[in-house]
Amino acid sequence: MRRELARRIAFTIGALLLFRLGTQVPFVGMGAPGPSFSGEHVVRFSIFALGILPYLTAAIVVRLVSLVSRRLSSLERSGERGRRRISGYTLIVTLVFTTFQAYGYASTIRTIPALVPDPDEWPVLAATASIVGGVFVLVWLSEQITRHGIGNGLALLLSVNILVHVPVDIAGIARLLQDGQVSGIVVLVHALVWIGVVALIVFVEGARRNVGVEFAERRLGDRLLPARAAILPIKINSAGFLVPATVAPWILFLPVAGLAYVFGADTPWVAAAYRHLGFGMLAHLVLGSVAIFVLAFIYTAYVVDPEHAAKSLAARDGTIPGVAPGEATADYLDRVVSLTTVVGAVYLTVLQLIPEVFELYGIGLPYSMMINGGGALVVVCTALDIKTQVRDVSLTNPGGVRR
């Protein structure tokens, strides 16, 4: 399967190069950026200015709604056709989110004289349409990577967006060291902490709480299946790495941004809210922790269903030793999942808030140069997923049979 693996890797590299090329294409109404604009500044004025986050946010909203909507939850379990319909709903929500964000983005740029000398001639709607189109190009590109490449396309695009800033950040830190604006001890502490963070992510993402299961002897047609023992693995971090890492910051930002839009950013109490909820402030640290905990529990409830697992075990004559079948099994699994979710939520909170702890103790680097724990989580988990997929493709014969 070397040829298949090589084809998938080549497709993934080509798609990622196309993504990076798109970050250099300005949206309608923007001329070529001047010499004072480069790197991240160019990305901000490209058709990919919003990235893939509007789609990710829409997918999360649809999934959260499915927790309380029987219709959506039944669609999710009705097979490929139901999943296709949910995907359609997600795209509709993406269109709504992206349109509002793109219009606000284009309207903001219109007010910057250095970028738009003649605001009356600035084509806000055309710029909005091109940014919306850019988001849907990224959605399509992520789906193609998932189908024909290696890894999760959505996670790969997010990871590339994070990793492209690393060389620039390293160069910036080197300049700060040369100028004496930051000490070598601070940089060394950051390096050691992030090495530890990577090790922690690898360990926790592979950690499981194994629940023992026993299957009774049963007859299947003409065959008699013997009794056997098995395990039901439950991930410590069932919430995954995309939702808490990317959505929690938005939960803090959007309410204040909405108040600023309605009442004006110069309103004293709105400005005070901005100040107290800023990066490195105690309120931001506490509320951010609460947001991550809530998201971890909500999303785990979406991906792990103890009742469904209990029914599935009962249908195959499976029992957990010392636990009665049916409702008692569901309650037991629910307790296990709740305990693992607490551990997972603590882990996610620690990762997300490491840069803020640095800032509180006065040993932080400039915020633009810090990959937060959420970014590290996305990159490391994406790398682990790619490793697993490479192994699976390598061990699979052309007929789809694992060796």
Instruction: Give 218's strand partners.
Output: 225
For the chain, 403 residues long, give each residue's pLDDT as a single digit of tens.
Answer: 578 888 999 999 999 999 999 888 887 766 544 444 444 444 567 888 888 888 988 888 887 787 777 777 777 777 778 878 888 889 999 999 899 888 888 877 777 766 666 666 667 888 889 999 999 999 999 999 999 998 889 889 988 988 888 888 888 888 888 888 888 888 888 888 888 989 999 999 989 998 888 887 776 666 776 777 888 888 998 887 777 666 777 677 767 766 766 776 677 877 777 777 776 677 777 888 888 888 888 888 878 888 888 888 888 788 888 888 888 989 999 999 999 999 998 998 888 878 777 777 766 666 555 556 778 888 898 999 998 888 887 776 544 444 4
Phi, psi of 233 (to 5 degrees): -80, 130
Instruction: Give the HSE-up count for residue 165: Cα atoms under 13 Å, Cβ half-sphere.
Output: 17
Cα 105 to Cα 24, 50, 102, 121: the distances in Å are 17, 9, 5, 16
Which of 373, 378, 382 shows the shortest CA–CA distance to 346? Answer: 373
CA–CA dist 127, 390 (Å, integer): 40
CATH T-level topology, domain 180-371? Preprotein translocase SecY subunit (1.10.3370)
CA–CA dist 376, 169 (Å, integer): 14
CA–CA dist 350, 33 (Å, integer): 39
Which of 294, 189, 319 shows the shortest CA–CA distance to 239? Answer: 294
Question: How many other C-beta atoms lie within 10 A of the C-beta of residue 269?
Answer: 9
CA–CA dist 160, 153 (Å, integer): 11
Q: Where in the chain is CATH 1.10.3370.10?
A: 1-164+378-403, 180-371
Instruction: Give 226's strand partners.
Output: none
Which of 236, 225, 230 shows the shortest CA–CA distance to 348? Answer: 236
CA–CA dist 50, 131 (Å, integer): 7
CATH T-level topology, domain 1-164+378-403? Preprotein translocase SecY subunit (1.10.3370)
- Which tokens sit at 282? 């105690």
DSSP structural state of residue 83: H
For Cα atoms 284, 287, 293, give the angle at the middle one, nearest 5 degrees.
135
Residues in contact with 241: Cβ distance below 8 Å, sequence separation at least 6, in sequence order: 155, 205, 377, 378, 381
